[in-house]
Amino acid sequence: MIEVRRGDELGERYRPEIAKVLVRGFAEDFSSFSTDSERLAAAFAPLLVLENWRLALVKGAPAAVAFVTEGTQEAFAPRWEPMRRELGLLRGTITHLVVRSQFVGAREGAGLPGLGEIGFVATDPAHRGRGAAKALMQAILEEDFEDFLVLEVKDTNEAALGLYRSVGFEEFRRRPARLAKRAGFHHYVDLRRVPQA
């Protein structure tokens, strides 16, 4: 059975577990910060704004995670110290700057009251293909928001795009990726929930 809970309901002891699932789920994207998933999870754990994270639990263990924010809410509260402690002065500083510039602040089309932005949906590799991310998304969509967006999904991430489509999202915008050849994908895809009849 899959149970979905808010990070702040589960408390501080789940903070490292959320970070581990996040880092494992985005291992390829985060590899420029570090390939040591334990150190990377330790660097990200203190930055998580727990009330904005949701977890799909299987037998009490996090199987999938995602954030949901509205208006000016944030998923991360970046701080220099944990990044530098875990990743070193140079790499920690660069990671901190990237997190601040890319993961903090409302993105185009988001940040409005009543509009839930869902992001960093990640499934622990041991639980992939078992319905944890879908159960997580379905529970989030039952929350009290007028509408939902998912922004900046790589056009090559067919698993994520398939998941979002399966729970009622459709693409509404594509934006070219900078340095697409080097990045390994061409566009960021933005999706919104299809209005329910």
pLDDT of the residue at 71: 86
pLDDT of the residue at 119: 95
> HSE-up of 12 (CA within 13 Å, CB side)?
1
The pTM of the whole model exceeds 0.85: yes
Among the listed residues 142, 135, 121, 158, the one whose alpha carbon sits nearest the alpha carbon of residue 193: 142
**pLDDT tens digits for 149-166?**
999 999 999 999 999 999
**pLDDT tens digits for 67-116?**
999 988 999 999 999 999 999 999 999 999 999 888 888 677 777 788 99
Q: Copy the structure tokens of residue 109.
A: 């089309």
* Cα(185)–Cα(175) distance, integer angstroms: 11
Question: Residue 108: CB partners within 8 Å, gap ≥ 6?
Answer: none
pLDDT of the residue at 107: 73
* Main-chain phi, psi angles of 172, to 5 degrees: -125, -10
- The mean pLDDT value of the chain amounts to 92
Q: Coil, strand or helix: which one is 137?
A: helix
Angle at 79 between CA 74 and CA 84, to 5 degrees: 140
37-44 and 15-25 helices cross at what angle (nearest 10)? 130
